[in-house]
């Protein structure tokens, strides 16, 4: 979840091995054994949530999304507002 919206769903081993949403990838990259790199930027103000998933404001170079992105399913996995890759 990011900014109170579901952004990615899937079996843990698949999501950890190959995150589809840039926020998921950012969280995993912040783990000590994966580089300990914080997600840049700051979370949105939760009392004034932006349109879309809200992550676009943190990483506009990596991410664009629509006003109300729906989860797009591919097999056992779903992701909002990010390209779905073949699994
Ligand atoms: Zn988004």
42 contacts 27 by C-beta, under 8 angstroms: no
* Residue 5 Cα to ligand 1 middle (Å): 9
* Residue 56 Cα to ligand 1 middle (Å): 6
pLDDT in tens, 53-84: 888 888 767 777 777 888 999 999 999 986 54
55 contacts 63 by C-beta, under 8 angstroms: yes
Summary mean pLDDT of the chain: 87
pLDDT level of residue 50 (50, 70, 90 thresholds) = confident
pLDDT, residue 63, reads 74
Q: What is the pTM of this model?
A: 0.85
84 contacts 74 by C-beta, under 8 angstroms: yes
Structure-block tokens of residue 72: 């797009």
* Residue 4 Cα to ligand 1 middle (Å): 12
Distance between alpha carbon 32 and the CA centroid of its chain, in Å? 19
79 contacts 21 by C-beta, under 8 angstroms: yes
Q: Is the pLDDT of residue 35 over 90?
A: yes
Helices and strands, counts by H and E, the chain: 2, 3
């Amino acid at each position: 979840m990011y900014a109170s919206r579901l952004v990615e769903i899937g079996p843990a081993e698949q999501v950890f091995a190959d995150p589809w949403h840039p926020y998921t990838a950012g969280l995993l990259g912040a783990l000590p054994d994966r580089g300990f790199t914080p997600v840049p930027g700051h979370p949105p103000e939760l009392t004034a949530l932006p349109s879309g998933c809200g992550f676009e404001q943190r990483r506009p170079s990596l991410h664009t999304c629509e006003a109300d992105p729906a989860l797009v399913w591919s097999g056992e996995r779903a992701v909002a507002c990010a390209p779905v890759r073949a699994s």
